[in-house]
Amino acid sequence: MSKYLVPVDFSKTADHAAKYAARLSFAMANAKIILLNAYYVSTYESILPTPDLIVTTDENIADETARRLEALEKLKLKMLEINPDAEIEVSLTRETILRSIINRVNKEEIDLIIIGSNGKKAKDESDIGSNAIKISKSSPVPVLVVPPKADYHSIRKAVLACDFKKVKEVMPVQSLKNILSKHALKLLVLNINSGQAIDLQEEHILHEMLKDFSPDYHYADHQDTIKGIVKFAKSEEAQLIIALPKKYSFFESLLHESVSQKLTIKSHVPVLLLKD
């Protein structure tokens, strides 16, 4: 069984990611979706008044908990309209969202975390969307970031962006095998040349590492790496961009949230942050 963890905060961003997960589960046999909402109340909130001079009482917490569970059930019903056969679990925790995600991943085998990315016009709409990259950096499992305009399409082509540097350290071969074993897709390896020469030895190592996947190799010149990737994915009609947020990787810049947000906002297709 494939298990998808979908953190939600009842924003349009998160709802869109949840509906994408429902469509994905429709295409995948034997899949389960876990809708996770975190309602964290700190000790200070329970003893100190808010700017409105309201103290968070046990009764307030109980009412808010009931409201959130009701909202989770409503979202579940919307997802079942997309896939009536979907197995969907609703989960409400009293921890921070990041801790809730990591604890759930450590508790059971999760295949994929699906998070919505805020768009340009919805910058502050979703706390989860605003922290998508922080979550992906902390998560031990792959994270799929769904841009606001990305609709689900059967995944036939995926773009793997790589700069052919330190490929042994950055290439998640096992994770790629896991993805390709579940999806019959064509892998397009893209090198964006921003003026630096390609290391032929590293290129050879990469070809050897990926030979079992029979990828196509493409080379493009573009001063703006992010725009170059997005433009290539669009021209090839790819349904997925794979990024490698590891030290030394082509996407080392993903450690800086502003660059990461550019990729997920500008991309018209979901971005898979892949790790071994």
CATH number of the domain that residue 102 is part of:
3.40.50.620
User: Which residue, of 146, 165, 182, is where some domain finishes?
Assistant: 146
User: Which of 99, 115, 146 finishes a domain?
Assistant: 146
User: Would 152 be classed as within a structural domain?
Assistant: no
Answer for the pair 207, 237: CB distance below 8 angstroms, yes or no.
Answer: no
Residue 21: pLDDT band with limits 50, 70, 90: very high
Distance between CA 199 and CA 209 in Å, rounded?
Answer: 16
Q: Is residue 105 part of a domain?
A: yes
Using the predicted structure, report yes or no on whether residue 1 has a pLDDT greater than 60. Answer: yes
Claim to verify: residue 132 and residue 176 sit in the same structural domain: no
Q: Would you say residue 86 has pLDDT above 80?
A: yes
Domain membership of residue 151 (yes or no) is: no
Task: Please report the pLDDT score of residue 88 as a whole number.
Answer: 97
Q: What is the pTM of this model?
A: 0.84
- pLDDT > 50? residue 251: no
- For residues 121 and 232, state if they share a domain: no
Contact 96, 88 (CB under 8 A): no
Assess if residue 36 is contained within a domain: yes
Q: State pLDDT tens for residues 214-242.
A: 999 998 887 777 788 888 999 999 999 98
Tokens of 84: 């009536």
pLDDT reading at 159 higher than 90: yes
Total domain count, the chain: 2
In a domain, 19, yes or no: yes
pLDDT at 119 (0 to 100) = 59
Tokens at 1, concatenated: 């069984």
In this predicted structure, what is the pLDDT of residue 22? 95
Query: Does 60 or 262 have the greater pLDDT score?
Result: 60
* Rounded-to-integer distance, Cα 154 and Cα 1, Å: 19
242 and 121 share a domain? no
Do 92 and 166 fall within a single domain?
no
**Quick one: 36 and 92 in the same domain?**
yes
Residue 136 shares a structural domain with residue 9: yes
- For 97-120, the pLDDT digits (tens) are 889 999 999 999 999 999 987 755
- Say yes or no: 10 and 130 in one domain: yes
Please return the burial class of 54, using the count of CB atoms within 10 Å of its CB with bins 0-12, 13-18 and 19+.
exposed
What are 159's strand-pairing partners?
A: 188, 241
* Domain membership flag for residue 172: yes
End-to-end CA distance of the chain: 20
118 and 195 belong to one structural domain:
no
Same domain flag for 22 and 102? yes
Q: What is the pLDDT of residues 163-214, one digit of tens each?
A: 777 777 777 788 888 877 777 789 999 987 655 667 788 888 889 988 988 9
Considering the domain architecture, whether residues 189 and 255 belong to the same structural domain is answered as yes
Last residue of a domain, one of 118, 146, 174: 146
pLDDT above 90: residue 91: yes
Question: Does residue 100 share a domain with residue 52?
Answer: yes
For the chain, give the mean pLDDT.
80
**pLDDT attached to residue 259:** 46
111 and 213 both lie in a single domain: no
Q: Is the pLDDT of residue 55 over 60?
A: no
Domain containing 190: what range? 157-273
